[in-house]
């Protein structure tokens, strides 16, 4: 299991961000947002070979269900063959317990991508949790990898670049390494939240961290009728999302991605 390394920049979410209630027109699909924010890592710093943080765990997406079942049965047979009676007659069971997959890591299984990567097929990326303003373009959730922090982001294949991070009042276009998190409704769900608080009794899917160590989670908020993925944290007092070249701060009635 890969654990997120603590780092973080508590200033990465600017207080100058606009509120979600601001009435602006929905953005067009192909709009480029040139952030130009001061103190934000330049694209040259985002080369994956320079990143010291450990990568998110990646599933073995090439195995078919038949291959997985075969591997599980092979393991069970091997366990039977290695079972020797000790201190009496203890025959191996004819019906070993079924294989049970281990629980996913706290950050889930990820698909590592870069700005120049071909977008993975739906079999790997999964179904998108929401759509863009046009009502048809898929939008996925993920995490943008920076030298000293990891920030939850939205991933829109119809945009160039597809990875967008809410930062400094704008919609930052991330160039470099980012990880796509396939949304799996079997073990994940969106849970209502407000003011940056983690819903009581729930375990959020870890989405990243600031340079100072504060945890960041995947959030989903509504802006002008459009569901937009973003980031949330207790230190933020709400959630921040990138939409229409702006960073929007939502204090109430958004959702955090949690494990079931």
Tell whether the torsion through CA atoms of 199, 202, 204 and 209 is positive or negative: positive
**Backbone phi, then psi, for 80, in 5-degree steps?**
-65, -45
* pLDDT tens profile 4-32: 444 334 334 443 444 544 444 444 445 57
**pLDDT value at residue 146:** 96
**pLDDT value at residue 11:** 39
Go through 33-62 and write b for each residue having 16 or more CB atoms within 10 A of its CB, e for each that does not: bebeeeebeeeeebeeeebebeebbeeeee
Do strands 215-223 and 163-167 pair parallel, antiparallel, or not at all (unpaired)? Answer: unpaired
The secondary structure of residue 176, as a DSSP letter, is S
Residues of the chain with pLDDT under 70: 1-31, 34-93
Q: Quick one: residue 153, left, alpha or beta (phi over 0 = left, psi -120 to 50 = alpha)?
A: beta
pTM exceeds 0.75 = no
- For residues 50 and 147, the answer to whether their CB atoms sit within 8 Å is yes
């Amino acid at each position: 299991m890969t654990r997120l390394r603590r780092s973080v920049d508590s200033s990465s979410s600017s207080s100058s961000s606009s509120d979600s209630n601001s009435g602006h027109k929905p953005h067009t699909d192909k709009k480029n947002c040139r952030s130009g924010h001061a103190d934000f890592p330049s694209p040259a710093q985002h080369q994956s070979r320079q990143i010291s943080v450990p990568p998110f765990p990646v599933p073995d997406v090439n195995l078919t269900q038949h291959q997985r079942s075969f591997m599980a049965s092979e393991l069970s047979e091997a366990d039977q063959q290695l079972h020797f009676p000790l201190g009496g007659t203890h025959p191996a069971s004819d019906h070993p317990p079924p294989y049970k997959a281990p629980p996913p890591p706290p950050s889930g299984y990820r698909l590592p991508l870069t700005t120049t990567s071909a977008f993975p097929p739906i079999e790997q990326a999964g179904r998108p949790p929401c759509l863009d303003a046009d009502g048809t373009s898929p939008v996925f959730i993920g995490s943008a990898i920076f030298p000293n922090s990891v920030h939850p982001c939205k991933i829109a294949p119809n945009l160039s670049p597809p990875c967008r991070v809410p930062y400094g009042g704008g919609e930052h276009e991330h160039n470099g390494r980012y990880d796509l998190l396939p949304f799996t409704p079997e073990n994940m769900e969106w849970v209502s939240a407000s003011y940056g608080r983690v819903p009581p009794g729930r375990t959020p899917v870890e989405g990243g961290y600031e340079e100072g160590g504060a945890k960041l989670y995947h959030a989903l908020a509504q802006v002008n009728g459009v569901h937009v993925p973003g980031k949330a944290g207790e230190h933020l007092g709400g959630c921040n999302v990138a939409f229409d070249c702006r960073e929007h701060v939502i204090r109430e009635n958004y959702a955090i991605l949690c494990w079931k």
